[in-house]
Amino acid sequence: MITCLLCLAWQDVISPSQVTWQAIPQIPGLEVCWAVGEESEPGLYLILVRMAPGTSIPPHTHPDARITTVIEGSIEVRFDQPVTRTMVLQAGESYVAPAHRFHAVVSPKGGIYKETGMGPTATAIPKPQP
């Protein structure tokens, strides 16, 4: 999946304007940067996520709980399938995505957020039903 693009020492400053972003081909408009840690490794990780206006991440789960904080712009988070709860978060606001709980993320106007958790982790996007 995604490899560590920028592994920084703990004392380094991590700024979205200075990291190396990697496009996710399966989701146009989505870019990520593993700023701390790696997806397959145990321990603390920090992922930066940038969504172009109109980008939508389909319903998915993670094996671990994640704390997400919006840095810039806004995102809309939709929980469960079918959707039972929707939250709109602005810059500076946070939420927790519990382990194994379906959620989707949409950014009508674009946004940058960071996700923190304890690895190893993964993202499971189920195949659409015919």
Within a domain: 7: no
Within a domain: 17: no
Helices and strands, number each (H, E), in the chain: 0, 9
Q: Give the number of domains in the chain.
A: 1
Confidence of residue 39 (pLDDT cuts 50, 70, 90): very high
Confidence of residue 50 (pLDDT cuts 50, 70, 90): very high
pLDDT of residue 11: 60
Query: Which amino acid would we find at residue 122?
Result: A
Within a domain: 130: no
What is the C-alpha separation between 8 and 36, in angstroms, rounded? 6
Within a domain: 113: yes
Within a domain: 12: no
Whole-structure pTM value: 0.87
118 compared with 5, residue with greater pLDDT: 118
For residue 72, the enclosing domain spans 22-119
pLDDT of residue 101: 96
Within a domain: 75: yes
Per-residue model confidence as pLDDT tens digits over 109-128: 999 999 999 999 999 999 87
Q: What is the CATH number of the domain that holds 64?
A: 2.60.120.10
